[in-house]
């Protein structure tokens, strides 16, 4: 729903042409024009959000979320199916309430993400935590690097900036927007906030180098992306989950810290769970077991604040 404006890009879609045109062949004029249009939209959205007071911006974001829910029939239908899968015992009326709350929360979090770079000191100062920062720093001192496990829950861009401040830097695995100016614009915003974007595409070497150097890498593991996946239970149903994350953790024995951010009043609160400790070799069963533990941790965090998760994507 928010793929053209949100600071975290959508997973790339497969196409017969490969998505970005043939190497060495210029794009058609209409595609170049469309890219320039969306680049202008992205710049305008960042500028507009940064100029709005937080209360006004969040109210506008909630209104936008509710409007989009009414207009986007496909996403609305998908979210209803996903909520019913995750909470089959929840009455239909309560599921509709959750759907509306999720759309409004997504809009408010979108505003916070867009305005983050402009108001970073104020936004970061309003973040509280349950000891997540101290836990992350302690794990990082062990010298094996740190894998931060999170998802599209709450304002995840703010979570990344907060962790970067707490840890003195953070690498984050992101998708690539197939619009080079927009991709550069979004990654420039992240770099300003202390984040180091790493491309998502199946190549683990950038993550491996960063972890071996003693750094922290954040991975959003809750979407169905076009990488090597393994079907692992999530809310009781098999869900495609990236294999590379578990293999990397097992290879380096890097601790995994499940973390999420959620709204608390006009601020945000960071919540963490006990660290996961990879044990064993990179075998099929150990990879499956570790991914199962990761999905269970994400599911627990989502259950604690279900309205903050994005129910609109094709998770299963």
Residue 176's nearest CA partner among 204, 208, 198 is 198
The Cα-based distances of 191 to 78, 85, 160, 209, 252 in angstroms read: 33, 37, 11, 18, 26
Q: Are 191 and 157 in contact (CB under 8 A)?
A: no
Distance CA 17, CA 30 (A): 16
Query: What pLDDT does residue 288 have?
Result: 97
Q: What end-to-end distance do the CA atoms of the chain give, in Å?
A: 17
Query: What pLDDT does residue 205 have?
Result: 86
Distance CA 101, CA 99 (A): 5
Query: What pLDDT does residue 83 have?
Result: 97
Distance CA 219, CA 171 (A): 9
**Two tokens, residue 45:** 């959205």
Q: How many residues does the chain have?
A: 316
Query: What pLDDT does residue 24 have?
Result: 56
Query: What pLDDT does residue 202 have?
Result: 60
Tell how strand 267-272 and strand 256-264 pair up: antiparallel
Q: Compute the Cα dihedral for 210, 293, 241, 102 and give only its sign.
A: negative
Dihedral in degrees, nearest 10, Cα atoms 46, 7, 158, 185: -60
Alpha helix positions (H), the chain = 29-51, 54-71, 73-86, 92-114, 120-125, 132-140, 156-167, 180-192, 205-212, 243-252, 284-304
Segments making up each domain of the chain, as ranges: 29-308
Distance CA 51, CA 46 (A): 9
Tell how strand 229-234 and strand 216-220 pair up: unpaired
Query: What pLDDT does residue 15 have?
Result: 28
Determine which helix (DSSP H) or strand (DSSP E) holds 260, and give its type and residue range: strand 256-264
- Cα 60 → chain centroid: 22
The Cα-based distances of 44 to 60, 122, 150, 155, 193 in angstroms read: 15, 22, 29, 20, 20
Query: Which pTM does this prediction carry?
Result: 0.86
Distance CA 46, CA 59 (A): 16
Query: What pLDDT does residue 13 have?
Result: 33
**Two tokens, residue 292:** 């199962």
Distance CA 18, CA 167 (A): 37
Give 10-residue mean pLDDT values along the chain (316 residues): 37 32 65 81 81 91 96 96 96 97 96 87 90 98 96 95 95 80 80 85 81 95 86 96 93 97 92 96 93 98 97 92
The DSSP 8-state label assigned to residue 224 in this structure reads -
CA within 13 Å, CB half, 194 = 21
């Amino acid at each position: 729903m928010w793929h053209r404006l949100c600071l975290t890009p959508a997973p790339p879609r497969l196409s017969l042409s490969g998505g970005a045109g043939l190497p060495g062949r210029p794009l058609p004029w209409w595609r170049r024009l469309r890219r320039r249009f969306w680049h202008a939209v992205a710049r305008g959205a960042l500028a507009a959000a940064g100029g709005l007071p937080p209360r006004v911006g969040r109210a506008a974001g909630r209104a936008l979320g509710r409007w989009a829910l009414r207009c986007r029939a496909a996403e609305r239908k998908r979210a209803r199916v996903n909520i019913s899968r995750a909470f089959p015992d929840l009455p239909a009326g309560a599921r509709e309430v959750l759907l509306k709350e999720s759309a409004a929360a997504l809009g408010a979090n979108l505003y916070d993400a867009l305005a983050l770079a402009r108001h970073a000191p104020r936004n970061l100062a309003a973040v509280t935590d349950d000891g997540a920062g101290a836990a992350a720093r302690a794990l990082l001192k062990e010298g094996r690097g740190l894998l931060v496990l999170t998802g599209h829950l709450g304002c995840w861009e703010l979570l990344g900036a907060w962790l970067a401040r707490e840890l003195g830097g953070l690498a984050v695995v992101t998708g690539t927007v197939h619009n080079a100016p927009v991709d550069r614009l979004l990654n420039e915003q992240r770099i300003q906030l202390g984040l180091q974007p790493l491309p998502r595409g199946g190549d683990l070497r950038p993550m491996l180098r960063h972890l071996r150097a003693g750094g922290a890498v954040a991975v959003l593991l809750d979407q169905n992306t076009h990488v090597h996946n393994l079907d692992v239970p999530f809310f009781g149903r098999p869900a495609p989950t990236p294999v590379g994350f578990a293999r990397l953790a097992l290879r380096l024995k890097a601790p995994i810290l499940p973390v999420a951010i959620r709204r608390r009043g006009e601020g945000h609160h960071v919540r963490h769970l006990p660290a996961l400790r990879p044990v064993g070799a990179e075998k099929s069963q150990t990879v499956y077991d570790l991914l199962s533990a990761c999905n269970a941790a994400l599911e627990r965090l989502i259950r604690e604040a279900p309205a903050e998760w994005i129910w609109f994507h094709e998770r299963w």
